[in-house]
A and B are shown apart, each in its own frame.
Chain A
Amino acid sequence: MTEETTGKSRRAFLKGAALTGVGLAAGKAGAATPDPLITEVQPWASGLGDGVDETPYGLPIEFEDDVIRRNVEWLTADTISSINFTPIHALDGTITPQGCAFERHHSGAIELKKEDYRLMINGMVDRPLVFTYADLERFPRENHVYFCECAANTGMEWAGAQLNGAQFTHGMIHNMEYTGVPLRTLLEEAGYDTAGKWVFVEGADASSNGRSIPMEKALDDVLVAFKANGEALRKEHGYPVRLVVPGWEGNMWIKWIRRIEVMDGPVESREETSKYTDTLADGISRKWTWEMDAKSVVTSPSPQSPITHGNGPLVISGLAWSGRGAITRVDVSKDGGKTWETARLAKPGEKMALTRFYLDTEWNGEEMMLQSRAMDDTGYVQPTKAQLREVRGLNSIYHNNCIQTWLVRANGEAENVEVS
């Protein structure tokens, strides 16, 4: 079994699971024959393992080689300007390891050395300044855990159930502990003009991605971050320095940030007009939809993470988050929304960070239509897709925070469905 589940493919895994399913299901009953894994001396119990320094910077063990980012090729013209997805179906807890946290580039992930890094503050300031990386490390810094969700997360599901896996439907999200300097500190250093109502932030890569952020948010909780989960940012997440805009859509979290301009109006750049705007049924479009609405998803069981253990205790697990505050409660339904049970939060919800929930339950092979429903500290309750469509129509792309349904069958397999 160990060999078979090293996860070359989900199909192979499911096949393996089906073959051994009976044996596993019988786990509760006594063993008929002694387990050779116990009665025979195994190679790892007799020989020696790797020495220290075998891998100076370690990667996950080979048996976990299916826990990787994946992309959906038909979504974009090529991989340079594209997106991939975090394997949320295979992770637990709330912190996303950098190595499998989703990537979104507009002109590819560039390699920019700390020595070559410059950050400029200009526009409506008393003192236009240039900082080096070393300068940034000399300002008082803070640590905060925040989720970063692409506004297009779950976007493919607007028209109906499309992609069969939590990774693909909800994987444009990651959650890291950032270390950085509050943007407010840098704006004060440059002496920002209080008449400046906006900052325009821009990246150093060829896409020159630029977004306008209201000064109120810039002074509130935006971070100029250079570490994530304790170590340097990965190049795909903006090494050496990125912007962290808590609770707001991922496109505003400018990577390789090189310039901050204090302005009296928004630039209305390409990414805040032609993209990241939401067209309603009447053809009128919402703009400046920055906040990410409260949302949740069951990560296991799910299509890529079927039940393989037979009847008895089952842990239903998932993630919840809100761009407007902290998660206060998550309810889970097994019958497609007829009845709900309140799940256990692994820890009290934190503002603009992922919250892990569990429903510790019994499963005896009955079909389930699994759903989760998040609530945040503004009192907001995650809506159904029908509720969203009633307000927004069918042509939306971004900000789909609807309740997701997984149909779990008697054999433990799960699939993405839409229900009445």
Chain B
Amino acid sequence: MSKFLKVAAAFAVLSTPAFADTFGLGRPALPEEIAAWDKDVSPDGTGLPEGSGDVFTGEEVFADQCAVCHGDFAEGVGNWPKLAGGMDTLADKDPLKTVGSYWPYLSTTWDYVNRSMPFGNAQSLEPDDVYAIVAYILYSNDLVDDDFVLSNETFSDVVLPNHDGFILDDRMETEHSKWVGEPCMENCKENVEVTMRAMVLDVTPEEVDEADNSAALEEAKVADAPAEDIAEIDPELVASGEKVFKKCKACHQVGDDAKNKTGPILNGIVGHPAGAIEGFKYSKPLLALADEGLIWTEEALAAFLAKPKSFIKGTKMSFAGLRKESDIEAVTAYLASFGN
């Protein structure tokens, strides 16, 4: 340590508030900073901000923000979580665990939607939206009527059905106490039979030969699409397309920093050959169509976006589809505004 540093250190010690046994490291957290990050909500409602939302508003917000994965009625799309149903199934084989059937505290739902959702656009909801979404999830589970309004004041009126369905870890008593001591070493059983084989089920991932895979991708890259006449960009249409694209943002990125996520990058997708974004693992049915030379013309995109699962049976895209033609037109214009 140099002389200069020694002096500096002495000053640092002197200027540090005199707390016993501390290092004087870090700086005080400002109230604004704590408010920005401390968002968790406890079972008794501590941490809830003021606000409210009704079931009908919730239905709209849910359709915009959540339905892409969780379905219009919170029933879940594909492998994404189901949020409603499953009442009284917890003791059945393969119980259905939802907010209604399993979650013990309403605070958990509010807290999770607020801090962690929507997937790919988290921490973007206003408190009133969160109240509305949670009200709608309760309604989807037949736990409230359609005129219900959830607010920081009505919050404690709701008790979820499985509130008392939990016990604390009791493994030390129910398991550990039984399974201690010197174990058997010889003649521990008379017969041993194989009762089940993983190979019969055959769900272990197969090794894909990389050479085959890249060949398939290579084939999918058909000759460049014929240059289409670039239609004039309508800024208003692009702007409303940007709003529609919120539904897509959970999985797709566009723009300069776009990366492949759950879905491929969509820069330059309009007029682009299908299945050809580098580094994205497409579904086999999509690759087959790409093989046949599918180009994402505006017409093909419109058909796909209206009913993804009918257009490509077996597509990985879990999106249910855009119902309004105007939304399809707008989002196509928005996508067309991003070049390659």
**A360: which B residues are within 8 A, CB to CB?**
none
* Cα distance A60–B43 in the bound complex, in angstroms: 49
B29, B95, B183, B190: most-surrounded residue (chain A CB, <10 A):
B29
- The segment from B114-122, B125-133, B137-145, B328-336 that touches chain A is B114-122
A286 touches B169 (CB 8 A): yes
Interfacial residues of chain B within 6-63, with CB under 8 A of chain A in the complex: 19, 21-23, 25-29, 33-34, 37-38, 40-43
Q: Identify 14 new A-B residue pairs, CB closer than 8 A, beyond the known A11-B207, A381-B179.
A: A121-B26, A131-B26, A163-B198, A191-B22, A206-B120, A263-B42, A273-B104, A274-B99, A285-B90, A285-B165, A340-B183, A369-B192, A395-B95, A407-B197
Q: Are A120 and B122 in contact (CB under 8 A)?
A: no
Q: Given known contacts A129-B29, A135-B26, is B95 in contact with A273 (CB within 8 Å)?
A: no
Q: Could you show 21 A-B contacts with beta carbons less than 8 Å apart?
A: A11-B207, A122-B37, A122-B38, A129-B26, A130-B27, A130-B29, A131-B26, A138-B25, A161-B201, A269-B111, A270-B116, A277-B166, A283-B165, A286-B168, A335-B192, A336-B192, A338-B192, A383-B179, A416-B199, A417-B196, A417-B198
A80 and B197 CA atoms in complex are apart in Å by 31
Cross-chain contact A120 with B33 (CB below 8 angstroms) = yes
Q: Contacts A77-B69, A107-B119, A269-B40 hold; do A378 and B187 have CB atoms under 8 A apart?
A: no
Partner of B189 from A8, A267, A338 at Cβ < 8 Å:
A338
- CA gap between A279 and B93 in the complex, in Å: 11
Which one of A108, A120, A273 contacts B29 once the chains associate, using CB atoms below 8 Å? A120
User: With A163-B204, A207-B116, A293-B171 known to touch, is A135 a contact of B25 (CB < 8 Å)?
Assistant: yes
Interface of B is mostly: loop
CA of A169 to CA of B288, assembled, Å: 33
- Judge whether B29 and A269 touch: CB under 8 Å: no
Which chain B residues lie closer than 8 Å to A114 at the CB level? none
For B168, list chain A residues within 8 Å (CB). 286-288
Over the window 218-254 of chain B, the binary record of Cβ atoms lying under 8 Å from chain A Cβ atoms (1 yes, 0 no) is 0000000000000000000000000000000001000
Q: Report yes or no: B26 in contact with A340, Cβ–Cβ below 8 A.
A: no
Provide the residues of chain B in CB contact with A162, threshold 8 Å.
Answer: 198, 201, 203-204
The B-contacting residues of A in range 125-168, CB under 8 angstroms, are 126-131, 135, 138-139, 160-165, 168
Instruction: Spot the interface stretch: A66-74, A92-100, A217-225.
Output: A66-74
Which B residues lie at the A interface, using CB under 8 A? 19, 21-23, 25-29, 33-34, 37-38, 40-43, 69, 78-80, 90-91, 93-95, 97, 99, 102-105, 107-108, 111-112, 115-116, 119-120, 122-123, 165-171, 174-176, 178-181, 183-199, 201, 203-205, 207-211, 251, 261-262, 316, 318
CA distance A394 to B90 in the complex (A): 12
Most buried by A among B79, B198, B211: B198
Interface centre among A11, A127, A273, A338 (most CB of B within 10 A): A273
- Is A102's beta carbon under 8 Å from chain B? no
Tell me whether B203 and A165 are in contact (CB under 8 A).
Answer: no
A342-379 residues at the B interface, CB under 8 angstroms: 369, 373, 375, 378-379
B262/A379 in contact, CB under 8 A: no
User: Is A81 part of the contact surface with B, judged by Cβ < 8 Å?
Assistant: yes
Residue of chain B at shortest CB distance from A136: B25
List residues of chain B with CB within 8 A of the CB of A335.
Answer: 192
Contact with B along A48-86 (1 / 0, CB 8 A): 000000000000000000100011111011111100000
In Å, the complex CA distance between A273 and B119 comes to 20
Q: Which of A26-68 contact B (CB under 8 A)?
A: 66
B34/A161 in contact, CB under 8 A = no
Report chain A residues within 8 Å CB of B201. Answer: 160-162
0 or 1 for each of A238-275: is its CB under 8 Å from B? (1 = yes): 00000000000000000000110101011111100110
Q: Are A273 and B105 in contact (CB under 8 A)?
A: yes
The 8 Å CB contact of B175, one of A74, A265, A391, A419, is A391
Q: Which residues of chain A come closer than 8 Å to B97, judged between CB atoms?
A: 274, 279
A32 to B261, CA, bound (A): 57
Known: A161-B196, A339-B188. A289 touches B169 (CB 8 A): yes
Whether B199 contacts A258 by the Cβ 8 Å rule is no
**Residue pair A394, B166 in contact (C-beta under 8 Å):** no
Closest to A186 in B: B26
Minimum CB–CB distance from A161 to chain B (whole Å) comes to: 4
**A416 nearest in chain B by CB position:** B198
Q: A268 contacts which of B29, B43, B184 (Cβ < 8 Å)?
A: B43
Residues of A within 8 A of B33 (CB): 120, 130
A206 partner residues in chain B, CB cutoff 8 A? 116, 119-120, 122-123
Interface centre among A11, A200, A281, A415 (most CB of B within 10 A): A415
Using Cβ atoms and an 8 Å threshold, which residues of chain B touch A293?
Answer: 171, 175
| Pair A265/B42 contact, Cβ less than 8 Å | yes
Which 3 pairs, one residue from A and one from B, show the smallest C-beta to C-beta distance?
A283-B91, A336-B192, A283-B90
Once bound together, how far apart are the Cα atoms of A74 and B321, in whole Å? Answer: 23
B299 smallest CB distance to A (angstroms): 28
